[in-house]
Amino acid sequence: MFRTHTCGELRLEDKNKKVILSGWVQKIRDKGGLIWIDLRDRYGITQLLIEDGRSNSIVIDAVRKLGREYVIQAKGTVIERLSKNPNIPTGNIEIDLSEIQILNSSLTPPFTIEDETDGGEELRMKYRYLDLRRQPLRSNLELRNRLSIETRKYLDSQNFFEIETPYLIKSTPEGARDFVVPSRMNEGQFYALPQSPQTFKQLLMVAGYDRYYQLVKCFRDEDLRADRQPEFTQIDCEMAFVDQDDVLKTFEGMVKHLFKTVKEIELSDFPRMEYSDAMRLYGSDKPDIRFDMKFVELNDVAQNKGFKVFDDAELVVGIVAKECADYTRKQLDKLTEFVRRPQIGAKGLVYVKCNEDGTYKSSVDKFFDQDSLNKWATKTNAKKGDLILVLSGEKDKVRKQLNELRLEMGTQLNLRNPNNFAPLWVVDFPLLEWDEDSERFHAMHHPFTSPKHEDINLLDSNPGDVRANAYDLVINGSEIGGGSIRIHDRDLQKLMFKHLGFSDEEAQEQFGFLLNAFEYGAPPHGGIALGFDRLTALFGGQDSIRDFIAFPKNNSGRDMMIDSPSSIAEDQLDELGLGLIPKD
């Protein structure tokens, strides 16, 4: 028997028990007469005690040979510790070691395997199996496991079926770039890895499965922005005979269930916000509503006073930072620098301090007298002691810029506590968005999303104004999920493809299987997919998803541990009919 207990299990009640533990040597402290070993496994850490003179000399000799990360089996008796450690659950006891067996030795690890490590990112990725021994990562994966179990429990309770869909599918030009896989048996032809199981889950609805879900890997060959993984996991779902409200209720229920069971947090009902309001009030389709600081449009009080920057602007818009009128010159300069950074791109920042004595001090005093500034304060509902921050310019751009500034102020004022959770649904997204590069409309969500019925007649005249039956789940300013009610009518789907620039032949070639299926009794249906990695990171109170994935890729899409991607042998290429492609 390797062990009678785990390293996280023993308590004072176990005093005097003879036990066997197995695990890794985390730390050895040798104080001459006394030696302590921290023995670690997945469950925790237990301290072993060896005492010169009292412990067996063979044991002492063996212990002196140990190094960090050796795997050992330790036999001994549970005793009460003299100096207890309240920080760990086993901190009241230690094991008086009577026998030890070295099960395997270890090289000195390249970084310390403790909660705080000295290992840099690259090194930790290369030795991921060592990094995964650290408690913070272990608890991240434990959280992930709990969330997947509770997700399945909830969806099972709601009659969802977990059904697997294929990973080797067909490449389509919509959406992000596909990862492709050459087919040996069909030379010159390729599979694509799914960006999502979208069409398959819709076909499952045509097949009558009614409620489908899958915790599924999806693959997108995008240029990696920070914290994007080329392969990631979604909780992917689809339901038949539902409208938008049914889908939102079902998945609001799921998210509430997860918060309750995993974090013991009872969330109240999620607000719903139209996309156009989200853009107008927060400059973002994923507003962080943990704090207020809504945008206030100031054109009517700020224009036509001779300040050209405002007069020429499509939009003048501000936010109020509560109790920030005492910001120093330096702090304000920093904010100006912040909005001027190329990633944000504002030309400048206008501020108004609402002084405690009722006067105003602004960066545009030359153009605006106290009376005018008072109008700004009234309009923005700024009080004495507050600071108004104003940007101006072209509407869409300035909203994006002010969104960045709002989030920065939220951070500076500690309004974005990761332990507060503020979910909401953003609904009524535009169906189409104009793409400057290809000079045509693209589906904002995907081509299977249904337009709102009342907007269908705008498809020809004002395609940009058509709203979709699409919704996003946003929590703390992060897009956690998105979905839509789908088109289930063949003619409407064909019309949609036409508006997206597909010829009839192209639509038939790429999506013929779906169009055909719609001729055999497709029920009304809709669904959603939630980003499981991001959801887990959110539950773990962190921004980065990387440490919630056991074996992630780095920012260049590389697995540093197995060193992939890699070139393949000439004969493998030949076999795939790719022999002529030059390797660089």
CB neighbours of 79 closer than 8 A, spacing ≥ 6?
15, 16, 49, 93, 94, 95, 96
CB neighbours of 199 closer than 8 A, spacing ≥ 6?
448, 511, 513, 514
Q: How many whole angstroms separate alpha carbon 10 and alpha carbon 94?
A: 9
Q: Using the rule CB under 6 A, which residue among 194, 393, 477, 483 binds ligand ASP?
A: 483
Q: Using the rule CB under 6 A, which residue among 7, 405, 485, 528 binds ligand ASP?
A: 528
Task: Give the pair of three-digit tokens for residue 137.
Answer: 């990562």
Q: Smallest distance, Å, CB 504 to ligand ASP? A: 24
The interface with ligand ASP within residues 133-162 (CB under 6 A) comprises none
List 443's β-bridge partners, or say none.
Answer: 432
| Number of continuous H segments (helices) and E segments (strands) in the chain | 17, 22
* Piece of the chain touching ligand ASP by CB under 6 A; list 50-58, 101-109, 153-161, 525-533: 525-533
Q: How many whole angstroms separate alpha carbon 282 and alpha carbon 292?
A: 9
Instruction: Judge contact between 424 and 272, C-beta under 8 A.
Output: yes
Q: Which is nearer to ligand ASP, 477 or 527 (CB)?
A: 527
Three-state DSSP at 442 gives strand
Q: Does residue number 199 form part of the binding site for ligand ASP (CB under 6 A)?
A: no
Alpha helices in 65-192 (DSSP H): 121-126, 128-131, 135-157
Q: Which is nearer to ligand ASP, 494 or 525 (CB)?
A: 525
Three-state DSSP at 191 gives strand
Task: Give the pair of three-digit tokens for residue 369.
Answer: 């007298």
Q: Smallest distance, Å, CB 276 to ligand ASP? A: 21
Q: Using the rule CB under 6 A, which residue among 196, 199, 244, 401 binds ligand ASP?
A: 196
Q: Does residue number 527 form part of the binding site for ligand ASP (CB under 6 A)?
A: yes
Q: Smallest distance, Å, CB 75 to ligand ASP? A: 53
The interface with ligand ASP within residues 317-356 (CB under 6 A) comprises none
Q: Which is nearer to ligand ASP, 291 or 471 (CB)?
A: 471
Q: Which is nearer to ligand ASP, 9 or 479 (CB)?
A: 479
Q: Which is nearer to ligand ASP, 293 or 517 (CB)?
A: 517
Give residue 542's Cα distance to chain centre: 9
Instruction: Report the residue number whose CB is nearest to ligand ASP.
Output: 196
Q: Which is nearer to ligand ASP, 2 or 241 (CB)?
A: 241
Q: Smallest distance, Å, CB 495 to ligand ASP? A: 19
Q: Using the rule CB under 6 A, which residue among 273, 398, 402, 529 binds ligand ASP?
A: 529
Q: Smallest distance, Å, CB 66 to ligand ASP? A: 50
Asked whether the bond before 565 is cis by omega within 30 degrees of 0, the reply is: yes
Q: Which is nearer to ligand ASP, 256 or 525 (CB)?
A: 525
Q: Does residue number 198 form part of the binding site for ligand ASP (CB under 6 A)?
A: yes
Q: Does residue number 552 form part of the binding site for ligand ASP (CB under 6 A)?
A: no
- Size of the residue set binding ligand ASP (CB under 6 A): 8
Q: Does residue number 484 form part of the binding site for ligand ASP (CB under 6 A)?
A: yes
Q: Using the rule CB under 6 A, which residue among 76, 119, 283, 482 binds ligand ASP?
A: 482
Q: How many whole angstroms separate alpha carbon 563 and alpha carbon 122?
A: 12
Q: Which is nearer to ligand ASP, 175 or 182 (CB)?
A: 175
Q: Which is nearer to ligand ASP, 66 or 473 (CB)?
A: 473
In the chain, the amino acid numbered 95 is I
Q: Smallest distance, Å, CB 497 to ligand ASP? A: 17
Q: Smallest distance, Å, CB 445 to ligand ASP? A: 6
Q: Smallest distance, Å, CB 199 to ligand ASP? A: 9
Three-state DSSP at 409 gives helix
Q: Smallest distance, Å, CB 165 to ligand ASP? A: 11
Residue 163: is it exposed, middle or buried by C-beta count within 10 angstroms (0-12/13-18/19+)?
Answer: middle
Q: Which is nearer to ligand ASP, 95 or 529 (CB)?
A: 529
- Alpha-carbon separation of residue 88 from 9, 15, 26, 324, 427 (angstroms): 11, 17, 14, 42, 46
Which residue has tokens 């056991």? Answer: 550
Binding mask 485-524 for ligand ASP (x = CB under 6 A): ----------------------------------------
A 10 A CB-CB count for 31 gives 8
Q: Does residue number 165 form part of the binding site for ligand ASP (CB under 6 A)?
A: no
- Alpha-carbon separation of residue 85 from 45, 74, 459, 494, 573 (angstroms): 11, 21, 68, 68, 59
Q: Smallest distance, Å, CB 480 to ligand ASP? A: 11
H/E segment holding residue 28: strand 18-30
Q: Give the burial string for 370-390 (b: 16+ CB within 10 Å, else e).
A: eebbbebbebbebeeebbbbb
Q: Smallest distance, Å, CB 517 to ligand ASP? A: 17
Taking each helix axis from N to C terminus, what angle separates 395-412 and 329-340, rounded to the nearest 10 degrees? 140
Q: How many whole angstroms separate alpha carbon 533 and alpha carbon 555?
A: 16
By CB under 6 A, name the binding residues for ligand ASP. 196, 198, 482-484, 527-529
